[in-house]
Amino acid sequence: MQYSIEIKKTETNEVNKGDRRKRIELLKRLIVASAVVLLLIPSVLSTVALVRIRSIEQSVSDTQDMIADMYDKLEAAGLSGSELETRYSTGTVQNSEISVSSDVYMSEGEDYGTLIYDGSEGVNKTVYLTFDDGPSAGTDEILDVLKKYNVKATFFVNGHEGYEEELKRMAREGHTIGMHSYSHEYSDVYADLDHFAEDLDEVHSYVLDATGVDSVFYRFPGGTSTCRRFTDVKECTEYLDAKGIRHYDWNVSADDSVGRKKSASEISDKVIGDIERSDKSTIIVLLHDAPGKKTTIEALPAIIEAVRSMDGTELAPITESTEPVYFK
């Protein structure tokens, strides 16, 4: 009896030891499993978060593209930024206004305008090549190309002293000389009507003294849309009207002064495409005569040749009988 009790005790001890081992093993497994779970949870959560962020980023990017595309089309159709916002909020944007496509570009604040076609409808088109911001070191090259093709254009010039020879050549070779302000400094030209008038006098004298031309054409620096951002555009246009000076915006832009630098083919494709798509009889093309605008000059032959090959389309310099083209 005593013996069997001893055996039982020993068995019980063995069983207890076995249980403890099992429990330790189980505990170990639990610890390892917990550690794995603890490590996995953040990884899974961050993966889920990453996927979600990616999808949000994609949505934002898609929306931005959509907005940029919409702005682009509206701008091409003739609505400036603030106007666009106003008209968008008041719901007056018409579908018919959203018809012209062009590259998405960012404004650098220079000569950034919108396209408003105020010319009369018709099959025959007159294309007016206009060059802003000269005279410059590139003027002679532009004049060479125009001479080669026997094309007369229009130069809206600034008060760049030292380029009087280039000005003289413009006049001598039959191009129209318009004024584009003396300083081209928005904060100065558009400070108030007195500043505007003083600047106009300066650029008028600059052209008159160099060439003898009493210029009666004006292009607002940045176009009337820029003038409107700074001051009362009506006051300025009435002042010009009173002096018998006609002002012109544009309805086709080479975009050679906005956004990234364009290649010659990008410039010519844009200009030619916009001219082809336009149903207006008066087409005023904005180009730039400014330092570093080499590709604009390189684009000219293709533009001239393409316009010449279009039926019922001619190239001409702006004259007093040229229909006005203004931004609304």
Please state, in angstroms and rounded to a whole number, the distance separating the CA atoms of residues 145 and 238: 36
Q: Output 93 or 286, the one with its CB closest to Zn ion.
A: 286
- Give min distance, CB of 138 to Zn ion, in A: 14
CB of 132 to Zn ion, least distance (A): 4
Q: Judged by CB, which is closer to Zn ion: 132, or 255?
A: 132
Name the segment binding Zn ion (CB under 5 A); options: 33-41, 57-65, 131-139, 278-286: 131-139
Tokens of residue 175, six digits:
């191009």
> Closer to Zn ion at the Cβ: 93 or 157?
157
Closer CB to Zn ion, 113 or 221, in the complex: 221
Strands (E) located in 53-124: none
Do 142 and 289 contact (CB within 8 A), yes or no?
yes
| b/e 273-310 (16+ beta carbons within 10 angstroms → b) | ebbeebebbbbbbbbbbbeebebbbbbbebbbebbeee
Q: In this chain, which of 77, 93, 100, 133 binds Zn ion, going by CB under 5 A?
A: 133
- 138 close to 113: Cβ distance less than 8 angstroms: no
In the bound state with Zn ion, the residue whose beta carbon lies nearer, of 189 and 306, is 189
Is there binding between residue 255 and Zn ion (CB under 5 A)?
Answer: no
Residue nearest to Zn ion (CB): 132
CB of 133 to Zn ion, least distance (A): 4
DSSP element (H, E) containing 27: helix 2-76
- Please identify which residue in 78, 112, 125, 132 interacts with Zn ion, judged by CB under 5 A: 132
| DSSP state for residue 222 in the 8-state scheme | T
Query: How big is the site for Zn ion, counted in residues (CB under 5 A)?
Result: 4
Using a 10 angstrom Cβ sphere, with 0-12 exposed, 13-18 middle and 19 or more buried, the burial of residue 137 is middle
What minimum distance in Å lies between the beta carbon of 300 and Zn ion? 18
Tell me how far CA of residue 91 lies from CA of 82, 96, 218, in angstroms: 14, 14, 33
75 forms part of the interface with Zn ion (CB under 5 A): no
Which residue lies nearer to Zn ion by CB, 136 or 211? 136
CB of 177 to Zn ion, least distance (A): 15
DSSP-based three-state secondary structure for 288: strand
Task: Give 150-218 as a DSSP string.
Answer: T---EEEE---TT-HHHHHHHHHTT-EEEE--SS--HHHHTS-HHHHHHHHHHHHHHHHHHH-----EE
Nearer to Zn ion, 31 or 106 (CB): 106
Least Å distance, CB 253 to Zn ion, is 12
What is the nearest approach in angstroms of Zn ion to the Cβ of residue 161?
A: 17
Q: How far is the CB of 81 from Zn ion (least distance, A)?
A: 18
Q: Of the listed pieces 13-21, 107-115, 294-302, 314-322, which binds Zn ion according to CB under 5 A?
A: 107-115
Could you give the CA distance from residue 99 to residue 312 in angstroms, rounded to a whole number?
Answer: 23
- Using the minimum distance from each CB to Zn ion, give the nearer residue, 135 or 221: 221
Q: Which is nearer to Zn ion, 117 or 186 (CB)?
A: 186
Q: Hey, which residues between 190 and 229 contact Zn ion (CB under 5 A)?
A: 221
- Report the length, in residues, of the chain: 328
Q: Does 111 bind Zn ion (CB under 5 A)?
A: yes
Provide the β-strand partners of residue 127: 283, 315
Nearest-angstrom CA–CA distance, 42 and 192: 62
Minimal distance in Å, beta carbon 179 to Zn ion?
A: 11
Give the footprint of Zn ion on this chain (CB under 5 A).
111, 132-133, 221
